[in-house]
Amino acid sequence: MSGFVTLDGVRKVYHMGEVEIVAADGIDFQIEKGEFAVVVGPSGAGKTTVLNILGGMDTATEGSVEVDGAFISQYSQKQLTAYRRDDIGFVFQFYNLIPNLTALENVELALQICRDPMDAEEVLVDVGLGERLSNFPAQLSGGEQQRVSIARALAKNPKLLLCDEPTGALDYNTGKSILKLLQDTCREKGMTVILITHNQAITPMADRVIKIKNGRVSRMIENNNPVSVDSIEW
Amino acid sequence: MGTKATRKDFYMEIRRSLGRFLSIFFIVALGVAFFSGIRSSEPDMRATGDAYFDGADLMDIKTVSTLGITADDIRAIGNVDGVEKVEGGYSADFLCQGEDREIAVHIMSMLPSMNKVTVTEGRLPQKPGECLTDDEMHYKVGDKIKLKAGDGKKVTDTLTTDTLTVVGTGNTPCYISFSRGNTTIGTGALSGFFVVADSTFDMDVYTEAYVQAEGAKELTAYTDAYEDRVKEIQDNIEAITGERGQIRRQELTADAEEELDKAKKELDDGKKEAEEELSEAEQTLKDGEEQLADAREQISDGRAQLEKARATLNSKQKELDNAKAEYASGKQQIEDGEAAYVQGMADFGAQKAAFDKQKAEAESKFAQQKEQLDQLNHLCNRMAADVAQKKAQLSTLEVTIDNLNQQISGMNPADPQLPDLQDQLQKAEADRDDLRDNILPAALAELQGYQTQYEQSKKAYDAAKDEADSRLAAGQQELDAGAAKLSATKTKLDSSGAELASAWNRIQDGQTQIDNGWTELEKQEDTLDKAEAELAASEKELADGRKEYEEAKSEADQKIADGEQKIADAEEEIGKIKNPKWYVYDRSTLTEYTGYGDNADRMRAIGKVFPVLFFLVAALISLTSMTRMVEEQRTEIGTMKALGYHKLTIASKYLGYALLATLGGSIFGVLFGEKVLPYIIIYAYGIMYHHIPDILTPYNMTYAAAATLAALACTIGATLAACYKELSAQPAVLMRPPAPKNGKRVFMERVTFIWKRLSFTWKSTVRNLMRYKKRFFMTVFGIGGCMALMLVGFGIKDSVFAISELQYSQIQVYDGMAYLEEDISDEKQQNTAEFMGRDTDVEQYTEVNMRNITLVNGSRERDAYECVPKSVEDIGSFIHFRDRRSHDKYELTDEGAIISEKTAKLLDAKAGDTIYVKDEEEGNHPVKIASICENYMGHYIYMTPGLYEDVYGERAAYNCYFFKAEDSSKSALEKTGQKILRQDGVLSISYLRDIQKQLDDMLKSLNLVIVVLIVSAGMLAFVVLFNLNNINITERQRELATIKVLGFYDPEVAAYVYRENVILTFIGAGVGMVMGRLLHLFIIRTVEVDAAMFGRNINFPSYVYSLLFTVAFSAFVNWVMYFKLKRIDMVESLKSIE
């Protein structure tokens, strides 16, 4: 019952005036260290809530969240900020780069507050952007921007890489190459990656698939033979 | 407006972005309030003044004539076209005693309806001799004021009485401020006014006529319409003055001649009567004098007799006094003798006692010695007895031995008794031998020793006793002689005492006789004194009578002479009577009336520039807000468009938003601004014009409309432009996120050594600043504008308040001026100058010629003081001539005059130009300007005496002293001043300290205006900063959320934003300083009055204050923003780009 990441009975209730909206209604799952996990589900199922809670951007109303032995569900706001700083790498759907910093500077921006960073330039070379270090986000394509975003997340050397629909704003091929980059990172560096998507088609590439529906985990599949991204089509 | 959904969306939009709505609302409100408020101040000031003038029925036109105005004249003026009402009044200026010096006052009669006086205390004057005094003077109800004419005539020539009783205090619309205007008497300045009933004046004709123009009351004072209307009627009145003048002259000539005849006759009668009376009086005086001479002789006889008696008495007294002295000395001798006798007795007693003591002592000593002698004798006798006994013993023993020997010899040797007897014999022989050989000789020797001792002692005792006995006998003899001498002395003393007592009795008798003689003498003398006093009284009476007679005589002569003179004068006068000159003035003849209008004009000058800038900043900010809003809602616009809404419907939401915020803000601004700001400003001026009772602040719709329309044009125009830009795009484009703005390298990156050292946040900050140029300029202009406004506010204060300090401690550095009487004699002038030089309280003085002249340059004219110092060397220590900017010193030379800066500017003259001193009789005199000196108050032209002669062809007459006091504290200075004023020939004194105080008081009224400016600018700064920061944060919400997700702590996030704000604030403040400086220069030039030049400076602290205020506002806004930053939801980062 104790994986690297463990969610136990996580509930999240929003109050909108007199209306109660249950975004998560008792979610339980575990993910092991070094796994490539995909959280999949339709819009409004509670994926983003899970991501927010895991990423320390929001707190659960009920239930416990354990990451690498720490119960982050009990963290204060300040502890959560430190947690985001040191333990979490976040890849956004819309990259969220600072527009007037270059690719390199965007990565360095994240690194300057981090405890144990990697070399920014190296990481950018690793994600295949060795040539575009000093380009501004506006001068990069969507895929390249997302690579910068991934590099920014990886360079912090996080315990957990959280990806929120990383291919959502990208075309098919670019999306695929980004997924490949994430999969390779997971395989080569032993990074635990949690990817949130509504795209059922990419589940075969994952070590673990968590399906969420109506605020609950409807099914959890452990995939012993994940396939390479290249062989998936959608 | 559109559908129900769009309406709902509209309301929701306002609710959702209430902060922005309110910030536009308030910025517009502030802008409009300030613009319309300050602009309204000018018309409101006029309206306030006008309401007061109308309420008090202030005259529109005042007419005076050199020969007075008759009732006929009044009627004639009343018939002039356009004259609604005319009333005649009296006025005259007199001197009276003020608090500490003689002051000049203006006395005017109450008019039936015009120029209504407001009573502050007490009541209006009703009877002759009652008066109402100026509120600004120190008189209280019940005070009596004695008047003095200033021109040598009598008060009662003009008034029925020369003493007025105060029955009330109050104020009049003729004097709306502190200044009371000028006069021809006293110091030349009026200190106040008295209002009296017209029955107090004793004059045949009015001194002036007051006119109200038809239709003028409805017009607002100080406006062109009013002034034109009054001018028209002024001209109408002017037209009849020629004819009225002729009539008046004829009247006067006829009257005068008739009176002259009467006077001549009276004079002759008077002459005769006076002569008769005088000769009668003369006779009486002579009789009296004769009687007095007799009495005087009798008294002198009596005096002589008395003198003789006094001499006799005195010689007798002297004799008596000698006897008294002798008696006293005799008495003294006796007393001395007695004292000596007493002393002798005492001495004798002491001697006797000593002798007795001595005698007793000697006797006791001899008795003792005698006893010792007897004892010794006794001892000798006893020894002799002893020796005799021993001798007897020896003989006994001899006998015994012989017996024994006999026995023995008689006995056979064998007898048994023989040994015994032999033993006995032996023993007796031993005893006898011992006694004979030892004991007896020893006793004999001893006896002999004692006997010798006794004999010696006895001899010594006898000798001593003999000597003592003879000494005692001598002492006894001496004592007896002393006692005999004492008793002889005593007998002599007693006989002398008896002699003295009889002498004393004789002296007493003599003294009594003399005293009686004196008493008699005094009695005689009293009688004589009384007689003399009577004589003196009679003499005085006679002298008085004589004096009276002389006076009466000279008076009569004088009267006759006067009468003759008067008649001669009158004859001449009649010949001289010309047509009277009429003057027709408008209200500007009233003191300070124009000043009030000038102040309104000054307000207009402030209102021209200041609010415009204010409004500009406000408009710019609301414009930015609206543009931002439209741009932010790009997706929504796209969606609406995609849904098929009409462009106008979509735009109407934003237009409506802008309209509502702007219109609401404008209305609020107008309602608030046009009431409050003019009120504060007029209230501030009320310090100077404090009798204006009610402040009127009507709404000025023109300014309200102008401000509102301008505000609407700005926001609606901006919204329209923004909407047009968005609406012209395809919906699909709108729904896609806008292409991200390109990051750009900035110039600083080329300076690698700096750039490398910057952290990423700093890099981002620098690039951000450069990238959002619009926002950069907006913020810089916004903050700069506010900074500039505050700086101008502080700067005006600096400039305005600087002048009194500069003028009176750096330029005119003397303490006071003493004006001399006109036509002062050379001797008096010499004396005053000597006094000034001699008086130790006066540190330094210099003689100058001060004169009011009119300078002309081309078509420009300006009144100025002409100041010609007698000593060109000295004047430099009283007035510092220097250039305002460079502070270069100027010397006064014969080459040309020095002229004050503002004067030169108003005349449009430069150094080296030649200007003219106006002289209508002899033609203008040209003067060359040598240099232009710094000066803030008044207009001056300075010349050397040499130059004066060149210009006028005559020598300057010095009529004034500038002086510096040794101690220039207020009380010491006034003391010095009073001392100078007491000098014969000194007319008046004025202290620069007083002038400075008046100036400071006047300028104080600007203070509140400045506070209004500063506070408003501060408020604007706050709203602007708030709005800009708000935009900044809203715009970058996503970026900030991302940073938060990346794990930046709240303070780090804040710092990320604040860096830009701080930099922008400081750049803005820097720009503001430059803008403020320029604006200040412009405003100061516009605000300035002709009489003064304001400083051009802004003091360093003002920069600091403005900066601190700006920074403080910025800091406060950022602090408020911190909470907004904290509330940014990280989930924002997950949202798609809008």
B118 - beta bridge partners? B171
Residue of A nearest to B1044 (CA): A81
Of A48, A98, A108, the CB nearest to B1134: A48
- Measured CA to CA in angstroms, residue A127 lies from A88, A137, A152, B372, B527 at distances of 18, 15, 10, 163, 151
From chain B, pick out residues whose CB is under 8 angstroms from the CB of A137.
Answer: 740, 743
Residue B737: the pLDDT is 64
Q: What is the mean pLDDT of residues B492-510?
A: 83
**Contact state of B767 with A55 under an 8 Å Cβ cutoff:** no
**Contact state of B1130 with A57 under an 8 Å Cβ cutoff:** yes
Q: What is the mean pLDDT of residues B236-260?
A: 83
Residue B542 three-state SS: helix
Of A85, A86, A99, the CB nearest to B743: A99
Task: List, as ranges, residues 29-88 from A with C-beta within 8 Å of B.
Answer: 48, 52, 55, 57-58, 78, 81-86, 88
Q: Which of B271-275, B879-883, B939-943 has the lowest mean pLDDT?
A: B271-275
Whether B773 has a pLDDT exceeding 60, the answer reads: yes
Task: List, as ranges, residues 169-208 from A with C-beta within 8 Å of B.
Answer: 169
Whether B151 has a pLDDT exceeding 70, the answer reads: no
B166 - beta bridge partners? B131
Residue-range domain boundaries for chain B: 19-50+586-739, 119-200, 249-576, 772-806+996-1138, 822-984
Q: What angle do CA A171, A173, A175 make, to 5 degrees?
A: 65
Whether B1134 has a pLDDT exceeding 80, the answer reads: no
B866 - beta bridge partners? B851, B941
pLDDT in tens, B538-560: 888 888 888 888 888 888 888 88
Residue B810: the pLDDT is 87
**Contact state of A136 with B742 under an 8 Å Cβ cutoff:** yes
Do B928 and B965 form a contact (C-beta atoms < 8 A)?
no
Whether B667 has a pLDDT exceeding 60, the answer reads: yes
Confidence of residue A1 (pLDDT cuts 50, 70, 90): very low
From chain B, pick out residues whose CB is under 8 angstroms from the CB of A48.
Answer: 1131, 1134
How distant is the alpha carbon of residue B949 from its chain centre?
A: 42
From chain B, pick out residues whose CB is under 8 angstroms from the CB of A81.
Answer: 1044, 1047-1050
pLDDT in tens, B312-335: 888 888 888 888 888 888 888 888
From chain A, pick out residues whose CB is under 8 angstroms from the CB of B775.
Answer: none
Confidence of residue B742 (pLDDT cuts 50, 70, 90): low
B1131 touches chain A (CB under 8 A): yes
pLDDT in tens, B13-39: 888 888 888 888 988 898 888 888 888
**Contact state of B739 with A138 under an 8 Å Cβ cutoff:** yes
Do B198 and B117 form a contact (C-beta atoms < 8 A)?
no
**Contact state of A101 with B740 under an 8 Å Cβ cutoff:** no
Q: What is the mean pLDDT of residues B601-607?
A: 78
H helical segments located in B633-743: 634-643, 647-685, 701-727, 731-735
Q: Which of B447-451, B830-834, B1027-1031, B1068-1072 has the lowest mean pLDDT?
A: B1027-1031
Distance from CA of A160 to the nearest CA of B (A): 13
Q: What is the mean pLDDT of residues B412-440?
A: 81
| CA dihedral (B340, B344, B345, B347) positive or negative | positive
Residue B964 three-state SS: strand
| Preferred mutation among A49, A100, A115 to probe B, highest tally of B CBs within 10 A | A100
Q: What angle do CA B925, B926, B931 make, to 5 degrees?
A: 135
Mean pLDDT of chain B: 84
Confidence of residue B453 (pLDDT cuts 50, 70, 90): confident
From chain B, pick out residues whose CB is under 8 angstroms from the CB of A47.
Answer: none
Do A45 and A212 form a contact (C-beta atoms < 8 A)?
yes
Whether B651 has a pLDDT exceeding 50, the answer reads: yes
From chain A, pick out residues whose CB is under 8 angstroms from the CB of B760.
Answer: 101, 105, 108-109, 112
Distance from CA of B810 to the nearest CA of A (A): 58
| CA dihedral (B716, B718, B720, B723) positive or negative | negative
Residue B144: the pLDDT is 87
The DSSP-derived string for B583-638 is: EEE-GGGSTTHHHHHHHHHHHHHHHHHHHHHHHHHHHHHHHHHHHHHHHHTHHHHH
Task: List, as ranges, residues 135-174 from A with C-beta within 8 Å of B.
Answer: 136-139, 152, 164, 169
A95 touches chain B (CB under 8 A): no
Q: In chain A, how many domains are there?
A: 1
Distance from CA of B749 to the nearest CA of A (A): 12
Residue B115: the pLDDT is 87
Do B848 and B945 form a contact (C-beta atoms < 8 A)?
no
pTM recorded for the entire structure:
0.60
Distance from CA of B1032 to the nearest CA of A (A): 15
Whether B187 has a pLDDT exceeding 70, the answer reads: no
Q: Among B549, B535, B544, which residue's Cα sits nearest to residue B291?
A: B535
Whether B131 has a pLDDT exceeding 80, the answer reads: yes
Could you tell me the two tokens for B1022?
């706050």
**Contact state of B1047 with A86 under an 8 Å Cβ cutoff:** yes
Of B760, B1039, B1050, the CB nearest to A112: B760
- Measured CA to CA in angstroms, residue A6 lies from A28, A30, A83, A162 at distances of 7, 4, 16, 15
Do B916 and B952 form a contact (C-beta atoms < 8 A)?
no
Sequence-ordered list of residues with C-beta below 8 angstroms from that of B141, at least 6 positions apart, any chain? B121, B122, B166, B167, B168, B169
**Which value does ipTM take for this structure?**
0.85
Of B739, B760, B1049, the CB nearest to A109: B760
Amino acid at B1054: A
**Contact state of A100 with B1133 under an 8 Å Cβ cutoff:** no
Could you tell me the two tokens for B711?
């505000």
The tally of CA atoms less than 13 A away on the side-chain side of residue B206 is 22
pLDDT in tens, A10-61: 998 888 777 888 888 888 999 999 899 999 988 878 888 888 888 888 888 8
Residue of A nearest to B763 (CA): A101
The 3 state secondary structure assigned to B227-266 is HHHHHHHHHHHHHHHHHHHHHHHHHHHHHHHHHHHHHHHH
Look up the domain containing A69 and give its range.
5-231
Strand order of the β-sheet with A216-222 is A88-91, A160-164, A192-197, A36-40, A208-213, A216-222
Sequence-ordered list of residues with C-beta below 8 angstroms from that of A124, at least 6 positions apart, any chain? A103, A104, A107, A130, A132, A133, A147, A148, A151
pLDDT in tens, B334-374: 888 888 888 888 888 888 888 889 888 888 888 888 888 88
Q: Which of A151-165, B388-402, B853-867, B989-1003 has the lowest mean pLDDT?
A: B989-1003
| Preferred mutation among B1132, B1134, B1135, B1138 to probe A, highest tally of A CBs within 10 A | B1134
pLDDT in tens, B785-833: 888 888 888 888 888 777 888 888 888 889 888 888 777 788 888 888 8
| CA dihedral (B107, B109, B115, B116) positive or negative | positive
A113 touches chain B (CB under 8 A): yes
Residue of A nearest to B1137 (CA): A94
Whether B1068 has a pLDDT exceeding 70, the answer reads: yes
The DSSP-derived string for A97-110 is: --TTS-HHHHHHHH
Do B1073 and B794 form a contact (C-beta atoms < 8 A)?
no
Task: List, as ranges, residues 718-777 from B with C-beta within 8 Å of A.
Answer: 737, 739-744, 759-761, 763-764, 767-768, 771
**Contact state of A137 with B743 under an 8 Å Cβ cutoff:** yes
CATH number for the domain that contains residue A44: 3.40.50.300
Whether B1138 has a pLDDT exceeding 60, the answer reads: no
Amino acid at B891: E
For chain A, the maximum distance between any two Cα atoms, rounded to a whole number of angstroms, is 54
Q: Among B1102, B1122, B966, B989, which residue's Cα sits nearest to residue B1049?
A: B1122
Residue of A nearest to B1049 (CA): A81
Residue B451 burial (CB < 10 Å; 0-12/13-18/19+)? middle
Could you tell me the two tokens for B751?
């300076």
* Block residue for tokens 């010899």: B409
From chain A, pick out residues whose CB is under 8 angstroms from the CB of B1133.
Answer: 92, 96
Do B1021 and A80 form a contact (C-beta atoms < 8 A)?
no
Residue of A nearest to B736 (CA): A169
Do A108 and B760 form a contact (C-beta atoms < 8 A)?
yes
Note the CATH number of domain B249-576: 1.20.1270
Rounded to 5 degrees, φ, ψ at B165 are -110, 130
Q: What is the mean pLDDT of residues B662-678?
A: 91
pLDDT in tens, B960-986: 889 888 887 877 887 888 788 778 888
Distance from CA of A232 to the nearest CA of B (A): 27
Confidence of residue B1131 (pLDDT cuts 50, 70, 90): confident
Q: Among B726, B542, B536, B585, which residue's Cα sits nearest to residue B650?
A: B726
From chain A, pick out residues whose CB is under 8 angstroms from the CB of B739.
Answer: 138
Could you tell me the two tokens for B372?
């010792």
| CA dihedral (B685, B687, B692, B697) positive or negative | positive
pLDDT in tens, A129-185: 888 888 888 888 888 888 899 888 888 888 899 998 888 778 888 888 888 888 888
Residue B803 three-state SS: helix
pLDDT in tens, A183-231: 888 888 888 999 998 888 888 888 999 999 888 888 888 888 888 888 8
Strand B582-585 relative to strand B61-69, pairing: antiparallel
Do B1130 and B1044 form a contact (C-beta atoms < 8 A)?
yes
Confidence of residue B1137 (pLDDT cuts 50, 70, 90): low
From chain B, pick out residues whose CB is under 8 angstroms from the CB of A139.
Answer: 742-743
CA B785 to CA B148: how far, in whole Å?
61
Most confident listed range (B170-174, B186-190, B1088-1092): B170-174
Could you tell me the two tokens for B240?
């009849």
From chain A, pick out residues whose CB is under 8 angstroms from the CB of B1060.
Answer: none
Q: What is the mean pLDDT of residues B129-146?
A: 87
A109 touches chain B (CB under 8 A): yes
